[in-house]
A and B are shown apart, each in its own frame.
Chain A
Amino acid sequence: MLEIKNLCAGVEGREILKGVDLTITAGEVHAVMGPNGSGKSTLAAILAGREGYEVTQGQVLYNGVDLLEMDPEERAREGLFLAFQYPVEIPGVNSTYFLKAALNAIRKHRGEPELDALEFLSLVKEKMKLLELREDFLKRPVNAGFSGGEKKRNEIFQMAVLEPKLAILDETDSGLDIDALRVVAEGVNRLKRPDNAQLVITHYQRLLNYIIPDFVHVLFDGRIVRSGGKELALELEEKGYDWIAKHEAVTA
């Protein structure tokens, strides 16, 4: 589904990603862990199509096509979804209106009929239960005045409505209390299907107690320096990122 080959990218001449290789197949859950500043968010942003990054080398194929050539909205319509680390507050844009426009843009792209107001409402009500969201939520402007936890829940709620093929969750666990973490993780788990995949970016093993990854990768200084099964996360938790740092220094 996703093939990242030797991806090198940076901002204003400064290299942040220094040759990332990662392959994700449908049905899999991958976790990317790594210390602050290692480039995790940069990777997520480049995959989603945020402007301002310079790709100097490498390639990203999404279902066989060059992802980096696509506009952000095209990527979204093709089923790529980024749950933002910092969801943006958009005062004045009503949540229902926004989400309906997004869903219908995606449905149209897939050749499916657009949903009318009633069909849309019954769909979102069902998904809101999944995330234990209050009903008034949809009447409010997008993320405006939401608490940190509500914003993160909203991201996963949007994911539930839009049903992406590849979901990238950028530190969705940060800012969540333990109950919210459970709700969000359960939501994510229920959206898992054999034909979609998830890329979970996190600092902590905590989230991975709920969202069980098939593969764990450690991103360090712009490169994936280690990959393994879920036990790698536990090992990291135990030994800390210093362990990787030392190891890197030795092998370098």
Chain B
Amino acid sequence: MQTTMIPEQIKQADPYLAAFERFASNGAEEPQWIGQLRKSGMARFSEIGFPTLRDEDWRFTNVAPIARLPFRPLLQPVRGDLPDPTGFNFAKIESSRLVFVNGHFAPELSRVLPLPKGAQITGMANALANDGALAQKHLGRHVRLEQNAFAALNTAFFTDGALVFIPAGVEVPQPVHLLYITTATETGATAHPRNLIVAERDSRVTILESYVSTVHGAYFTNAVTEFVIGEHATVEHCKFQDESPAAYHIAALQMSLGKNCDFISHSIATGAKLSRNNINTVLGGEHIECVLNGLYLTKDDQLADHHMIVEHAKPHCNSHEYYNGILDDRSRGVFHGRILVRPIAQKTDAKQTNKNLLLADTATANAKPQLEIYADDVKCTHGATVGQLNKDSIFYLRARGIDAETARRMLIHAFAGEIIDRIRCEPAREELDRVFWDRLEENPHVADVK
């Protein structure tokens, strides 16, 4: 007779609860509403626990390795030597830069350019200690904790992050760069960056976000970023996840979009052993243009997962998702794109594509498109492909004298270029283009992929 295996229950919230009690008892100087927020996060986490493969939204991504990590929240800023941020990607771009070390704002490494009147770019802990009104209005109001244990955990344990506020009508000419550096070497060291970006009506801003490390440890970044974007605002967001290959990275990105706004968000993922972006956008006004654009490059046993929900809550909006993956060795790419069109959201135009290029037979791609359409006058399309390089293209290039390896590289680069070319911020685009070119150059496999 066969016995049914009971999968390991990973709702062991105890160590987290204990850590939370210690943490909360030290948080006396925090405003009360934050304490409440944290408690609600902790309560939610205790209730739902980490997801398992039986959760529909997590069926391709097993987070048991994260659940098994010792929980070591990085609650104190680093004492002593700070890392040199200048060697990391995006660091040479002319920008207002906030640097976070192990999740804590490092003013010594940061520099904010002169800003137009009323604009604020600052560390979250600072903002909460000084005038918490803005944060209070938005923090935790957008991200949904009920289905997201990681966001709940972040809500319980966050210590710092970025607060960006761009008032109505203001344009910030230089990008804002949020640089997260992990230096912690202990397994399970966990940073909980918590960001809030508010761009009021008619404002314009570009946010660059990058996650890097100086170490190769099995640390964990568990980030939450809430975007609140007003009417007619134009916002570009470009995230580059380039964590240590042994690290874990989970991020929730919650966007609340106002009418007529133009929002584009890029997610470029090359790092981490396991990464997952939960991208939720709510198109809460008419005539919104929303583009979610992503590229992941994985090797060895990396897993890069992008899960998104695009909710059309008002008519006449356009949303496009373009995600390309380049997967080598035994690595995996996961894409889950859910488009939800509410009954009122007529004249919705929603498109979604996910294309994967496998550089090795042992790499896998999982794509799950999910359309839920409750309005009748809409255009929704989706497409997913998994494949190898086009043989005819390779032959064409070789027939012109280009060697096979260069030909393959050109084609893989072109595949990445489809995504990178959508980045509007020119220095970021050029830099990422170079990063991909260099990483493909280093890849020994490109020489013999078919």
* A→B interface (CB under 8 Å): 48-51, 71-73, 75-77, 81-82, 84, 87-88, 90-93, 97-99, 101-103, 105-106, 109, 141-142, 158, 162
Using A101-B406, A162-B400 as known contacts, say yes or no to A72 and B395 having CB atoms under 8 A apart.
Answer: yes
26 contacts across the A-B interface (CB closer than 8 A): A49-B399, A50-B399, A51-B395, A73-B398, A73-B400, A73-B404, A75-B399, A76-B399, A77-B401, A81-B399, A82-B399, A90-B396, A91-B414, A91-B418, A92-B421, A93-B397, A93-B411, A93-B414, A97-B410, A101-B402, A102-B400, A105-B403, A105-B406, A109-B401, A142-B396, A162-B400
Contact partners of A102 in chain B: CB under 8 A: 397, 400-402
**Nearest chain A CB to B446's CB is how many angstroms away?**
15
User: Does the CB pair A72–B393 fall under 8 Å?
Assistant: no
**Which residues of B in the span 393-434 have a Cβ within 8 Å of any Cβ on A?**
393, 395-404, 406, 410-411, 413-415, 417-418, 421
- Per the bound structure, the CA–CA distance linking A48 and B396 in Å amounts to 10
B391 is an interface residue with CB less than 8 A from chain A:
yes
Instruction: Give 14 A-B pairs besides A102-B401, A162-B401 with Cβ atoms closer than 8 angstroms.
Output: A48-B399, A71-B404, A72-B395, A72-B399, A73-B401, A73-B402, A73-B403, A88-B396, A92-B413, A97-B410, A101-B410, A105-B402, A106-B401, A109-B401
User: Does the CB pair A90–B401 fall under 8 Å?
Assistant: no
**Nearest chain A CB to B398's CB is how many angstroms away?**
4
- Output the nearest chain A residue to B400 by Cβ-Cβ distance: A102
- Per the bound structure, the CA–CA distance linking A72 and B401 in Å amounts to 7
**Nearest chain A CB to B17's CB is how many angstroms away?**
51
**Nearest chain B CB to A4's CB is how many angstroms away?**
18
Count of A-B contacts with CB under 8 A?
79
| Pick from B393, B398, B399, B403: contact of A90, CB under 8 Å | B393
Using A73-B398, A105-B402, A162-B400 as known contacts, say yes or no to A88 and B415 having CB atoms under 8 A apart.
Answer: no
- Output the nearest chain A residue to B415 by Cβ-Cβ distance: A92
User: Does the CB pair B391–A51 fall under 8 Å?
Assistant: yes
Most chain A Cβ neighbours within 10 Å, of B401, B411, B417: B401
**Nearest chain B CB to A97's CB is how many angstroms away?**
8
**Nearest chain B CB to A75's CB is how many angstroms away?**
8
User: Does the CB pair B393–A88 fall under 8 Å?
Assistant: yes
User: Does the CB pair A92–B414 fall under 8 Å?
Assistant: yes
B392 is an interface residue with CB less than 8 A from chain A:
yes
| Pick from A84, A101, A162: contact of B396, CB under 8 Å | A84
Most chain A Cβ neighbours within 10 Å, of B396, B397, B400, B417: B400
- Per the bound structure, the CA–CA distance linking A51 and B404 in Å amounts to 13
- Output the nearest chain B residue to A142 by Cβ-Cβ distance: B396
User: Does the CB pair A90–B397 fall under 8 Å?
Assistant: yes
Contact partners of A49 in chain B: CB under 8 A: 395, 398-399
Most chain A Cβ neighbours within 10 Å, of B392, B404, B406: B392
